[in-house]
Structure 1
Amino acid sequence: MEHIIGVLADTHIPRFKALPEAIWRHFADVELIIHAGDLSVLSVINELETIAPVVAVQGNVESDEVRRALPLKRELVIGGCRIGVVHILSPDSARRRRSEEEARLEAARREFPQARCVIFGHTHVPYLRQQDGLLLFNPGSATDRRSQPACTLGRLYIEDASGSPRGEIIPLT
């Protein structure tokens, strides 16, 4: 059996008036939605729960209600895969001496030492990389593409037998 999880970050509602309808289409078959922060308001969770249960963390641009309700980071296990969720994956100050990829991997290992997948946001830039047994996954933003060609969201697939995670970034056109 394969678990399918919808992955979002940086929706920034109400700055952006509404969640894109494409979310409902791309997440119609998911069993869970993970939101990696910057929802801005809790009503985003209520809307997404019309599709599937939601696990979320707070970001750095949140209302007081979101900051009171959501943790800064979470860890969960689905199909034998330990998943860490945080908004900002902070490389340490020695980052200048290493590549961005190495710094990101070290930060993920520091935050979630047992995880096989770490989901993060903040940059609005999609990122998907499997390295040394760890999947690093930033779905980008479904509402604010910034310098990207399109807004994006993600899907995470976890194989039950092995607990192996695999990610997909989907451009919204």
Structure 2
Amino acid sequence: MRLLIMSDTHLPKRAKRLPEQLLAELPHADVVLHAGDWVDTATLDLLESRSRRLIGVYGNNDGPDLRARLPEVAHAELGGLRFAVVHETGPAHGREARCAARFPGVDVLVFGHSHIPWDTTAPGGPRLLNPGSPTDRRRQPHCTYLTATVTDGTLTEVTLHRLPRR
């Protein structure tokens, strides 16, 4: 099972549209995960129409229209792994312990908010993945997103993709 993981698209505030490289990944993904801060419903509509399966949550910059269509936290079983998706997990310091306590029984937690790519595993807790942002790099050197594969209940081939600067 191939996953496409993104967050913090902030359209149309930070960019006019999603990058072509990211859009080209959609037909290859079995599941698309979006960890919030869509900002516009058009991006949600686009991903719903082009994805085989979309799992998304709202973020702190998402208004009532998006909050009416998306949960604050999403849970899904994908290929034998238990996933949770949330927008914000708080400060980097203490994140692993905090997320392990907040999301017991979860194997993988996808989150966003910081625009900073993150890939760690909490001791005795979930693997934490933040894809960064494909449209707003902030202080990061590149805009980014993640792809991953779930095979026989194992998360493999977790790859951070750097997008060209605009």
2-structure distance, mates of 1:90, 1:121: 10
Contact preservation (8 Å) 1:45, 1:54: no
Alpha-carbon RMSD across the aligned residues, in angstroms, is 1.6
Partner of 2:39: 40
Contact preservation (8 Å) 1:128, 1:169: no
Report matched runs for 1:93-104 at 5 Å: 100=93, 103-104=94-95
Q: Deviations over 1:113-142 (max 9, x none)?
A: 011100000000011123436311000000
Report matched runs for 1:75-154 at 5 Å: 75-90=75-90, 100=93, 103-132=94-123, 134-154=126-146
Q: Note closer, same or farther for the CA distance 1:130–1:109 as it changes in structure 2 (3 Å cut).
A: closer
* Alpha-carbon offset, residue 110 of structure 1: 2.3
1-structure distance, mates of 2:6, 2:102: 20
- Answer with 19-28 or 142-151: which moved more: 19-28
2-structure distance, mates of 1:129, 1:170: 17
For structure 1, the 5+ residue unaligned runs are 92-98
Query: Does residue 165 of structure 1 match 2:155?
Result: yes
TM (norm. structure 1) is: 0.86
Which 4+ runs in 1 deviate beyond 4 A? Answer: none
2-structure distance, mates of 1:6, 1:125: 17
Partner of 1:95: none
Partner of 1:155: 147
Contact preservation (8 Å) 2:96, 2:121: no
Query: Does residue 55 of structure 1 match 2:85?
Result: no
1-structure distance, mates of 2:27, 2:69: 26
SS at match of 1:7: strand
SS at match of 2:146: strand
2-structure distance, mates of 1:110, 1:87: 17
* Alpha-carbon offset, residue 156 of structure 1: 2.3
SS at match of 2:45: helix
2-structure distance, mates of 1:80, 1:55: 16
Contact preservation (8 Å) 1:140, 1:152: yes
Q: Deviations over 1:101-120 (max 9, x none)?
A: xx111221122101110000
* Alpha-carbon offset, residue 22 of structure 1: 1.1
Q: Which amino acid aligns with 2:121?
A: Q
